[in-house]
Amino acid sequence: MWKGRFAKDTSTLVQDFGESISYDWRLYPHDVAGSIAHARAQLNAGLLNDEEFSQIEKGLREIEVDIREGRFEFRTSLEDIHMNIEAELTKRIGAAGGKLHTARSRNDQVATDTRLYCRTQIDSMLEAITALQNVLLDQSDKNAAAVMPGYTHLQRGQPVTVGHHLLAYVEMLERDKGRMADCRKRLNVSPLGSGALAGSTINLDREAIAKELGFDGITHNSMDAIADRDYIAELLFAISMMGVHLSRLSEDLILWCSSEFGFVTLSDEHTTGSSLMPQKKNPDVCEITRGKTGRLVGNLMNLLVAMKGLPITYNRDLQEDKPPLFDSVDTILLVLAVNTEMIGAMEMRQDRCLAAASDPMLLATDLADALVKSGVPFRSAHELVGKAVAESVESGVPLDELDLEKIDEAYTPEMKSVFSLQTALAARTNTGAPSIENVKREVERWRACL
């Protein structure tokens, strides 16, 4: 493509070093769409005649089909998807193919292609996240009234329900969707027309190109449009954050399916055995989800570090944006699909959850609240209950069986009524708190939202 200036061919080693076709071939549908929109603008500007435009459009469509059906032969010597397609087009249709690159550079072309790719993938991810939210919602519905301990520091804290616990992840995933949708809005502008870095002396109708490609508008500074990959970094962050959320969910499930907790049974289909220990049933899906999160975060770091020292505008380093982008998108889509299947099929063991929540210590805070309601300042109430807890630990008498009035006269016999999980949950009626009614209402709210 640049033979005019050079006397020797690029060495094979440099070709292998610099090629991106082995991975950016995936941009082909976007590259074709971008080229057709660009060619139409050339037609409308009088740079192509009808015949030339039709040849280009038809040629590009045929190339697209050939690539999709695995018939296209990519050449490393042609470096990337843009040059592979253009060279093949010219081979197929002749002179008109040589006109396509008028008023365009691979720099605005690749920025366009990656924006279109991100947009398409965001739409797939949004759908996949909603599917996962839906199975979490089904489980929350089934387990809306299933009492379990809520933990801080992985120590039993206060009673909640399984539904409430799982709905926490529905919330997190909704924010993940919000981040993606936000990123989509910001990236959905067309860089075409920015050229190599300084636009072109041949002015095509940028707005018309943008419209044809489904962009909401056009970029307003050619240098920025060529140089920045912030939209990819944003997306990689949104994916990483979601990965972190799913990694924490995995960790919960890993704990829950241990013998020590025994809160959940994962299906045989979503667990693996041991080649040595016949009794094992391992939560590999959760562990791999947790493990892959490292990769997602790594991909974000990869891009940020690659960009940080680059003078604007385009530098070839930017070609390294695509492997982390593709890897994160592929990874998270797989993570979402497998987790949706696994969570949809898991069975919560409500009896085990309830047994773990039946430790009266979980209601120590409620006892302090009862003292507060009778006029004791919270700090004093906390200390009084602390004393009762210490005595229970020392004597081995459960907290709800202690003679509280002996510990302090602030205690009254009615205060013992706090030692009921049903009462404890029923009292938690404020928005966001885990009363069973609230959890059921939240399930309904989410059903309507999703």
Q: Which long-range CB contacts under 8 A does 146-152 form with residues at least 24 apart?
A: 146/348, 146/350, 146/353, 146/354, 147/353, 147/354, 147/357, 147/421, 147/425, 148/263, 148/353, 148/354, 148/356, 148/357, 149/353, 149/356, 149/357, 149/359, 149/362, 150/434
| Nearest residue to 283 (alpha-carbon basis) of 312, 300, 262, 311 | 262
| Nearest residue to 105 (alpha-carbon basis) of 204, 7, 217, 235 | 204
Tell me if residue 153 is catalytic: yes
- Binder of ligand ARG out of 43, 67, 110, 362 (CB under 6 A): 110
Strand partners, 161: 147
Scanning 35-43, 96-104, 312-320, 406-414 for contacts with ligand ARG by CB under 6 A, the matching segment is: 312-320
Q: How far is the CB of 1 from ligand ARG (least distance, A)?
A: 10
Contacts with 131 (C-beta within 8 Å, 6 or more apart), sequence order: 336, 340
Distance (Å, whole) CA 180 – CA 168 = 19
Judged by CB under 6 A, does residue 80 bind ligand ARG? yes
Distance (Å, whole) CA 450 – CA 440 = 15
Scanning 89-97, 104-112, 146-154, 399-407 for contacts with ligand ARG by CB under 6 A, the matching segment is: 104-112
Kind and range of the H or E run holding 161: strand 155-161
- Binder of ligand ARG out of 55, 90, 107, 219 (CB under 6 A): 107
Give whichever of 192 and 343 is closer to ligand ARG, judged by the CB atom: 192
Give whichever of 141 and 327 is closer to ligand ARG, judged by the CB atom: 327
Scanning 121-129, 266-274, 301-309, 315-323 for contacts with ligand ARG by CB under 6 A, the matching segment is: 315-323
Q: For 293, what's the count of Cα atoms within 13 Å in the CB-facing half-sphere?
A: 19
Judged by CB under 6 A, does residue 106 bind ligand ARG? yes
Give whichever of 196 and 208 is closer to ligand ARG, judged by the CB atom: 196
Give whichever of 149 and 195 is closer to ligand ARG, judged by the CB atom: 195
Give whichever of 19 and 234 is closer to ligand ARG, judged by the CB atom: 19
Q: How far is the CB of 20 from ligand ARG (least distance, A)?
A: 4
Distance (Å, whole) CA 357 – CA 143 = 14
Sign of CA dihedral 32, 33, 35, 40: positive
- Binder of ligand ARG out of 3, 5, 308, 316 (CB under 6 A): 316
Give whichever of 80 and 234 is closer to ligand ARG, judged by the CB atom: 80
Distance (Å, whole) CA 53 – CA 376 = 84
Pick out residues in 5-34 that bind ligand ARG (CB under 6 A): 20, 24
- Binder of ligand ARG out of 28, 237, 314, 411 (CB under 6 A): 314
Residue 374 CB neighbours (<10 A): 12
Distance (Å, whole) CA 426 – CA 367 = 15
Scanning 6-14, 68-76, 105-113, 143-151 for contacts with ligand ARG by CB under 6 A, the matching segment is: 105-113
Scanning 310-318, 343-351, 412-420, 428-436 for contacts with ligand ARG by CB under 6 A, the matching segment is: 310-318
Q: Catalytic residue among 22, 124, 258, 274, which?
A: 274
- Binder of ligand ARG out of 318, 343, 367, 399 (CB under 6 A): 318
Strands (E), 14-58: none
Cα 416 to chain centroid distance, Å, stands at: 46
Q: How far is the CB of 80 from ligand ARG (least distance, A)?
A: 4
Give whichever of 12 and 412 is closer to ligand ARG, judged by the CB atom: 12
Give whichever of 22 and 267 is closer to ligand ARG, judged by the CB atom: 22
Judged by CB under 6 A, does residue 115 bind ligand ARG? no
Scanning 56-64, 122-130, 316-324, 423-431 for contacts with ligand ARG by CB under 6 A, the matching segment is: 316-324
Distance (Å, whole) CA 166 – CA 422 = 19
Cα 375 to chain centroid distance, Å, stands at: 48
Tell me if residue 274 is catalytic: yes
What is the identity of the amino acid at 295?
R
Catalytic center residues: 153, 274
- Interacting residues with ligand ARG (CB under 6 A): 20, 24, 80, 106-107, 110, 314, 316, 318-319
